[in-house]
């Protein structure tokens, strides 16, 4: 019974039915507009050994090329009948993307609460690292297209099990609730409703876009929920030690480096190792910055113990918030670009390879030097974003007179 249930939840036809419910045109005459990836072959071999192209009964041998019988996917356009759901779920899937992290993490530290932010980042980095590693250990493909329709190709090179989007959909919104529960006075019921909507939007977006099976989503939700049970109290307890103790921070560096160096190797290249480098480097950069703030005396314990009433911003506070956010985001973009350039140049010089040739090299995924350089640049740029978010930019805000007064009391 369990095996049948698992097979049903893995069935790409179930994904296709969900897509059809939200207005996606499921038709073999209108296949996925996204170019097939290694885990999404357009050539399907049926039980009789016949090869079908894009769900159509085109049969040919391995040394033959099929006749082009259809217009290109760009000429056909997207097989979407309801663009409200399409754009809503595009937004939902971005809640688990690097762009969202680069915006959400700095905004939270500059404008809301650094103590809660550090704890969320630590939980997020651990859960993401485990989820990404499991993808390359299990090597389960994404839903077959057809019968489903792949509306996005951004993460197609990754394997599908478990869904790290679903894991992030649990870790961030519910982590916010758990870490603010005894810190602020607010309506917990309203917060839970918002967290459920946030998580549901992310999960449904992955099904709608044809990127995950229902089993991938459920496994991600269950794994993240199970991990948060021990992680939340552990992170809450260890945060102060990471902020105040150099040895504890060195351990964080070592664990992060080990997670990248000894990352499980799958049968082909996937971007999951780079994503792991991103999350561990952000966490390390943030905690190093917090340690420097503490050691220099800038960070002090709060004068008033929690819980705190939420203080809604005045017009003056709102103007400062907007200035901090706009200036900060510009600096984040500059930090990412500059760190990537300097990191690329430095590591290429160490490896004694030509940076321009390496950058333009073909089959970059098979080039070990290229993979190593990209991984190093990812680590350095994300580390510097985390460091500048908590150390450099808050000090710039103080000089400009637009700082948030409680920033250096959030231990």
Is-cis flag, bond preceding 147, omega within 30? yes
pLDDT surpasses 80 at 153: no
Q: Does residue 128 form part of some domain? A: yes
Q: Does residue 52 form part of some domain? A: no
Contacts of 153 (CB under 8 A, 6+ apart): 34, 35, 37
Mean pLDDT of 330-352: 86
**pLDDT range class, residue 250, cuts 50, 70, 90:** confident
pLDDT surpasses 60 at 410: yes
Instruction: Choose, from 13, 52, 60, 165, the residue flagged as catalytic.
Output: 165
Q: Does residue 259 form part of some domain? A: yes
Chain centroid to CA 355: how far? 28
Angstrom CA distances, 32 to 89, 115, 368, stand at 17, 44, 32
Q: Does residue 284 form part of some domain? A: yes
pLDDT surpasses 50 at 151: yes
Question: Which run of H or of E encompasses 175?
Answer: helix 164-180
Contacts of 131 (CB under 8 A, 6+ apart): 162, 163, 164, 167, 220, 223, 224
Q: What integer pLDDT is reported at residue 355 of this predicted model?
A: 67
Q: Tokens 């974003």, residue?
A: 385
pLDDT surpasses 90 at 117: yes
Mean pLDDT of 69-78: 42
Q: Does residue 227 form part of some domain? A: yes
Task: Tell which wins on pLDDT, 350 or 220.
Answer: 220
Environment class of residue 187 by beta-carbon count within 10 Å: exposed (0-12), middle (13-18) or buried (19+)?
exposed
Mean pLDDT score of the chain? 81
Q: What confidence tens digit (pLDDT) does each residue in 156-171 have?
A: 777 888 999 999 999 9
pLDDT surpasses 60 at 61: no
Mean pLDDT of 369-396: 88
Q: How many secondary structure helices (H) and strands (E) does the chain include?
A: 15, 4
By residue range, what is the domain housing residue 216?
87-314
Q: Which of 30-44, 187-201, 387-401 has the lowest mean pLDDT?
A: 30-44
Mean pLDDT of 346-368: 69
Contacts of 36 (CB under 8 A, 6+ apart): 42, 145
Rounded to an integer, what distance in angstroms lies between the CA atom of residue 393 and that of residue 295?
18
Residue 306 Rama label (left phi>0; alpha psi -120 to 50; beta): beta
The verdict on whether 365 is a catalytic residue reads: no
Question: Which run of H or of E encompasses 324?
Answer: helix 315-351
Q: Does residue 301 form part of some domain? A: yes
Q: Does residue 43 form part of some domain? A: no
User: What percentage of the chain reaches a pLDDT higher than 90?
Assistant: 40
pTM (2 decimals)?
0.82
Q: Does residue 180 form part of some domain? A: yes
Both tokens of residue 81? 């009948």
Mean pLDDT of 297-312: 85
Both tokens of residue 212? 């995950």
Instruction: Choose, from 13, 52, 60, 212, the residue flagged as catalytic.
Output: 212
Mean pLDDT of 23-52: 48
**pLDDT range class, residue 35, cuts 50, 70, 90:** very low
Rounded to an integer, what distance in angstroms lies between the CA atom of residue 24 and that of residue 143?
15
**pLDDT range class, residue 309, cuts 50, 70, 90:** confident
Mean pLDDT of 327-342: 91
Q: How many domains does the chain have?
A: 1
Angstrom CA distances, 101 to 104, 234, 272, stand at 5, 23, 16
Q: What integer pLDDT is reported at residue 341 of this predicted model?
A: 85
Q: What integer pLDDT is reported at residue 332 of this predicted model?
A: 93
pLDDT surpasses 60 at 56: no
pLDDT surpasses 90 at 314: no
Q: What integer pLDDT is reported at residue 144 of this predicted model?
A: 85
User: What percentage of the chain reaches a pLDDT higher than 70?
Assistant: 83
Q: What integer pLDDT is reported at residue 358 of this predicted model?
A: 67
Q: What integer pLDDT is reported at residue 67 of this predicted model?
A: 36
Torsion, Cα 136 138 139 144, to 10 degrees, reads -140
């Amino acid at each position: 019974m369990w095996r049948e249930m698992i097979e049903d939840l893995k069935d790409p036809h179930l994904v296709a039915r969900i897509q059809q419910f939200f207005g996606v045109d499921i038709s073999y005459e209108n296949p996925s507009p996204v170019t097939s990836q290694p885990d999404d072959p357009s050539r399907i071999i049926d039980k009789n050994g016949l090869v079908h192209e894009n769900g159509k009964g085109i049969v040919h041998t391995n040394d033959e090329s099929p006749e082009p019988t259809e217009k290109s996917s760009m000429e056909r356009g997207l097989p979407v009948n309801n663009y409200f759901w399409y754009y809503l779920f595009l937004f939902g899937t971005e809640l688990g993307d690097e762009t969202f992290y680069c915006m959400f993490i700095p905004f939270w530290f500059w404008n809301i609460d650094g103590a809660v932010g550090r704890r969320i980042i630590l939980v997020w980095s651990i859960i993401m690292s485990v989820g990404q590693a499991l993808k390359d250990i299990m090597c389960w493909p994404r839903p077959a297209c057809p019968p489903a329709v792949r509306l996005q190709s951004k993460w197609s090179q990754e394997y599908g099990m478990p869904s790290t989007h679903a894991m992030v959909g649990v870790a961030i919104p519910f982590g916010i609730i758990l870490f603010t529960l005894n810190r602020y006075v607010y309506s917990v019921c309203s917060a839970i409703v918002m967290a459920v909507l946030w998580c549901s939007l992310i999960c449904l977006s992955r099904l709608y876009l044809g990127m995950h099976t229902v089993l991938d989503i459920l496994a991600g939700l269950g794994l993240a929920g199970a991990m948060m049970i021990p992680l939340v109290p552990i992170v809450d307890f260890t945060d102060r030690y990471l902020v105040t103790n150099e040895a504890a921070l060195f351990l964080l560096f070592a664990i992060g480096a080990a997670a990248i160096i000894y990352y499980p190797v799958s049968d082909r290249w996937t971007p999951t190792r780079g994503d792991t480098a991103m999350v561990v480097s952000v966490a390390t950069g943030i905690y190093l910055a917090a340690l420097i703030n503490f050691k220099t005396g800038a960070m002090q314990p709060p004068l008033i113990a929690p819980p705190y009433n939420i203080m809604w911003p005045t017009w003056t506070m709102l103007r400062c918030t907007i200035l901090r956010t706009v200036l900060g985001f510009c600096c984040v973009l500059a930090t990412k670009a500059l760190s990537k350039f300097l990191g690329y140049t430095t590591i290429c010089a160490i490896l004694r390879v030509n940076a321009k040739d390496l950058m333009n090299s073909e089959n970059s995924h098979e080039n070990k030097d290229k993979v190593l350089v990209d991984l190093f640049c990812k680590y350095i740029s994300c580390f510097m974003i985390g460091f500048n978010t908590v150390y450099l930019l808050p000090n710039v805000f103080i000089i400009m007179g637009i700082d948030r007064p409680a920033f250096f009391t959030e231990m």
